[in-house]
């Protein structure tokens, strides 16, 4: 058995865990302790040290950890999530301190139910983020070193959507790794073998999904950072039988659609073209690129286009250049968007492709930094008065261009969103903010809505609803500042709004299993959602895990 257990304590106050026999100093108060925790955080040098400190705090005093997340969101989120979590994954086997979730390996096939059964608080389980470490952010196959991504996403479920900490189960599946560096590393924590063939993996996954639904009947599963082929395969295989979604395909799809809707409004206003005249070039055709393209397609059809018209607004570029049918030998997931109207020799350079396509929007999901060169950015600015440029690759070091470059080479006209955070910056005397088109705006609210409605599955309409909910959530001040996404500090309010839309979509699709929510009008539903969000600022907050 290679399961590693996190003994999730139900006591989440500071200094009084059941395995912590000493009495805290009598004068210890929340109000000063949060200041103390922040000062300790600031005393750490490199971001990875801050990450280690924060994760230790989470294990020791979960409520203080989440207070820091909620009250210092802009500072703490980049430390526990992208970009620092990328480094934490790369170094996981070296910085490892304690179990933080379940590692279940291919050797456990036949015994998965028993391993899941060791989880301490089964009744509270509501959400699991499951990765197989095969495509962590843009960092490739990290094997079990992918565990921090599951842990990090779940910290955001708690901080951003108020899921109770005891309701979250981080899981990393160990099918081996094809990265020799890890296999050669004496400290590597995973199996020392190459990844097993897909057939063997699928047998495991069938057992795993079945046992998850038996051991944790109220659990929603989020697939994370599976390699592209498996991401599509397993989403397709399980989505009609279990409540499951894929964050990289659907979460990224929804968050980019949302930013695109807001950017396209501004861009279309500047060019006096209708929204549906946008021409969208995807640089990167993996799970995220195709997931986003699918989401845009369904939006365009909602706006009245036929499916074929919508499909023709999209061009994909992969490592071999423009994706077109006559090129031959295309991976299955690229075929649908392959162009049939181009038959010449392969178009390989991004500049020549831009010249041919004349895109109004350029979306980067390639994980190749620096590919949106000054020439590319200038070309985009020459095509559209407000070009949409979204370098979305994560973490920040893999971004296709920086915010500063995008501003500079478009004379500040760019409508910009990146996957990882960029600092605000002064341009031409005006303070400009980079939109962060990260799925953290979607998955916490989507998950919360699915959990509260007890959705039996996650429909496309629920994902779409999350995108529209996010797009409509900009405040008047945010709109006036030209933002594409709401300010991160408002994320709990945003997640509540997203969750509400998702509950309604689940009801419309008939997949909800919490009929009481059908009787609520919108203000009542909003109250219901908010009252079920656990808040670390309250000593004994409401708990999704306990109440539903």
Ligand X SMILES: O=C([O-])CC(=O)C(=O)O
132 binds Mg ion (CB under 5 A): no
Nearer to ligand X (CB atom), residue 155 or residue 438: 438
Nearer to Mg ion (CB atom), residue 62 or residue 286: 286
Quick note: the x/- pattern for ligand X over 246-265, rule CB under 6 A, is: -xx-----------------
Q: Residue 311 in 3-state DSSP?
A: helix
Binders of ligand X among residues 264 to 293 (CB under 6 A) are none
**Which residue of the set 81, 92, 342, 441 is catalytic?**
81
Token pair, residue 409, equals 């080479």
CA distances from 405 to 128, 378, 387, 416, 417 (A): 38, 10, 14, 11, 13
Q: How far apart are CA 215 and CA 211, in angstroms?
A: 6
Q: Is 308 annotated as a binding residue?
A: no
| Number of amino acids touching Mg ion (CB under 5 A) | 2
Using CB distances below 5 to 8 A depending on partner kind, what does residue 298 bind out of ligand X, Mg ion, none?
A: none
Least CB distance to Mg ion at residue 51 (A): 18
Binders of Mg ion among residues 210 to 239 (CB under 5 A) are 225
Using CB distances below 5 to 8 A depending on partner kind, what does residue 463 bind out of ligand X, Mg ion, none?
A: none
Contact residues for 249 (Cβ-Cβ < 8 A; gap 6+): 231, 232, 235, 287, 288, 290, 291, 294
Least CB distance to ligand X at residue 222 (A): 10
439 binds ligand X (CB under 6 A): yes
Least CB distance to ligand X at residue 84 (A): 11
Confirm whether 356 is a catalytic residue.
no
Token pair, residue 293, equals 């393209």
Q: Is 248 annotated as a binding residue?
A: yes
Q: How far apart are CA 6 and CA 182, in angstroms?
A: 24
Taking a C-beta distance cutoff of 8 angstroms, is the pair 417, 436 a contact? Answer: yes
Rounded to 5°, the CA angle 45-51-57 comes to 110
Neighbours of 298 (CB within 10 A): 18
Using CB distances below 5 to 8 A depending on partner kind, what does residue 211 bind out of Mg ion, ligand X, none?
A: none
Using CB distances below 5 to 8 A depending on partner kind, what does residue 78 bind out of ligand X, Mg ion, none?
A: none
Confirm whether 153 is a catalytic residue.
yes
Neighbours of 170 (CB within 10 A): 25
Using CB distances below 5 to 8 A depending on partner kind, what does residue 438 bind out of Mg ion, ligand X, none?
A: ligand X
The answer to whether the peptide bond before residue 83 is cis (omega within 30 degrees of 0) is yes
Contact residues for 384 (Cβ-Cβ < 8 A; gap 6+): 267, 270, 271, 360
Q: How far apart are CA 367 and CA 6, in angstroms?
A: 33
Q: Is 224 annotated as a binding residue?
A: yes
Using CB distances below 5 to 8 A depending on partner kind, what does residue 8 bind out of Mg ion, ligand X, none?
A: none
Quick note: the x/- pattern for ligand X over 67-96, rule CB under 6 A, is: ---------------x--------------
Least CB distance to ligand X at residue 85 (A): 7
Q: Is 247 annotated as a binding residue?
A: no
Taking a C-beta distance cutoff of 8 angstroms, is the pair 370, 390 a contact? Answer: no
Taking a C-beta distance cutoff of 8 angstroms, is the pair 398, 138 a contact? Answer: yes
Q: How far apart are CA 126 and CA 164, in angstroms?
A: 9
Nearer to Mg ion (CB atom), residue 248 or residue 464: 248
If you ran DSSP here, which 8-state letter would residue 190 be given?
S
Nearer to Mg ion (CB atom), residue 360 or residue 366: 366
**Which residue of the set 153, 218, 233, 334 is catalytic?**
153
Binders of ligand X among residues 137 to 156 (CB under 6 A) are 137
248 binds Mg ion (CB under 5 A): yes
Contact residues for 170 (Cβ-Cβ < 8 A; gap 6+): 6, 100, 101, 102, 128, 129, 147, 150, 151, 154
Give Cα 13 to chain centroid, integer Å. Answer: 28
Binders of ligand X among residues 120 to 139 (CB under 6 A) are 137
Nearer to ligand X (CB atom), residue 284 or residue 545: 284
Least CB distance to ligand X at residue 138 (A): 7
Quick note: the x/- pattern for ligand X over 187-226, rule CB under 6 A, is: --------------------------------------x-
**What φ, ψ does residue 364 adopt, rounded to 5°?**
-100, 120
Least CB distance to Mg ion at residue 139 (A): 11
Least CB distance to ligand X at residue 136 (A): 7
Q: Residue 81 in 3-state DSSP?
A: coil
Contact residues for 328 (Cβ-Cβ < 8 A; gap 6+): none
**What φ, ψ does residue 473 adopt, rounded to 5°?**
-95, 0
Q: Is 225 annotated as a binding residue?
A: yes
The single residue among 394, 410, 433, 543 that binds ligand X, judged by CB under 6 A, is 394
Using CB distances below 5 to 8 A depending on partner kind, what does residue 394 bind out of ligand X, Mg ion, none?
A: ligand X
Return the H-helix or E-strand segment holding 43: none
Least CB distance to Mg ion at residue 247 (A): 5
Q: Residue 32 in 3-state DSSP?
A: helix
Q: How far apart are CA 341 and CA 324, in angstroms?
A: 8
Residues making up the binding site: 135, 224-225, 248, 394, 438
Residues making up the binding site for (S)-malate: 135, 394, 438
| Residues at the contact surface with ligand X, assessed by CB under 6 A | 82, 137, 225, 247-248, 394, 419, 438-439
Residues making up the binding site for a divalent metal cation: 224-225, 248
Residues carrying an active site annotation: 81, 153
């Amino acid at each position: 058995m290679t399961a590693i257990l996190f003994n999730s304590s139900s006591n989440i106050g500071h200094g009084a865990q059941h395995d912590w026999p000493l009495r805290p100093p009598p004068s210890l108060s929340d109000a000063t302790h949060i200041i103390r925790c922040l000062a300790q955080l600031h005393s750490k040098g490199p971001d990875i040290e801050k990450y280690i400190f924060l994760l230790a705090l989470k294990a020791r005093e979960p409520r203080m950890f989440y207070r820091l997340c909620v009250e210092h969101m802009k500072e703490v989120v980049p430390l526990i999530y992208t970009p620092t979590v990328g480094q934490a994954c790369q170094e996981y086997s070296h910085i490892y301190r304690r179990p933080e979730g379940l590692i279940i390996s291919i050797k456990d096939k036949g015994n998965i139910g028993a391993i899941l059964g060791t989880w301490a608080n089964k009744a509270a389980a509501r959400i699991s983020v499951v990765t197989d470490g095969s495509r962590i952010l843009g960092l490739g196959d990290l094997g079990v070193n992918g565990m921090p991504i599951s842990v990090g996403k779940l910290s955001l479920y708690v901080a951003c959507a108020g899921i109770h900490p005891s309701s979250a189960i981080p899981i990393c599946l160990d099918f081996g790794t094809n990265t020799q560096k890890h296999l050669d590393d004496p400290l590597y924590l995973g199996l020392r073998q190459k990844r097993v063939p897909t057939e063997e993996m699928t047998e495991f996954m069938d057992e795993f999904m079945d046992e998850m639904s038996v051991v944790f009947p109220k659990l929603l599963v989020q697939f994370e950072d599976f390699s592209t082929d498996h991401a599509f395969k397993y989403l397709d295989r399980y989505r009609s039988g279990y409540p499951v979604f894929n964050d990289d395909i659907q979460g990224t799809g929804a968050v980019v659609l949302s930013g695109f809707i807001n950017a396209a409004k501004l861009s279309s206003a500047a060019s006096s073209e209708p929204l549906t005249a946008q021409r969208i070039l995807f640089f990167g055709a993996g799970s995220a690129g195709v997931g986003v393209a699918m989401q845009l397609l369904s939006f365009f059809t909602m706006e009245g286009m036929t499916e074929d018209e919508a499909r023709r607004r999209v061009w994909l570029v992969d490592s071999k250049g423009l994706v077109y049918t006559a090129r031959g030998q295309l991976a299955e997931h690229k075929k649908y968007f392959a162009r049939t109207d181009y038959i010449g020799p392969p178009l390989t350079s991004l500049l020549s492709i831009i010249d041919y396509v004349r895109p109004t929007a350029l979306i980067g999901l390639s994980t190749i930094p620096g590919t949106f060169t000054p020439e590319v950015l200038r070309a985009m600015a020459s095509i559209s008065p407000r070009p949409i440029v979204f370098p979305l690759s994560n973490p920040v070091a893999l971004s296709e261009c920086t915010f500063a470059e995008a501003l500079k080479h478009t004379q500040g006209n760019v409508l910009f969103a990146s996957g990882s955070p960029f600092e605000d910056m002064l341009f031409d005397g005006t303070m400009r903010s980079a939109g962060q088109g990260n799925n953290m705006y979607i998955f916490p609210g989507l998950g919360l809505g699915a959990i509260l409605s007890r959705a039996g599955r996650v429909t496309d309409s629920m994902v779409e609803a999350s995108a529209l909910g996010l797009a409509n959530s900009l405040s008047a001040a945010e709109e006036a500042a030209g933002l594409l996404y709401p300010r991160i500090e408002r994320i709990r309010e945003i997640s509540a709004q997203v969750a509400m839309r998702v509950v309604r979509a689940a009801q419309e699709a008939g997949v909800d299993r919490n009929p009481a929510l059908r009787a609520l009008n919108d203000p009542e539903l909003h109250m219901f959602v908010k009252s079920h969000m656990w808040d670390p600022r309250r000593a004994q907050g409401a708990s999704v895990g306990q109440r539903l």
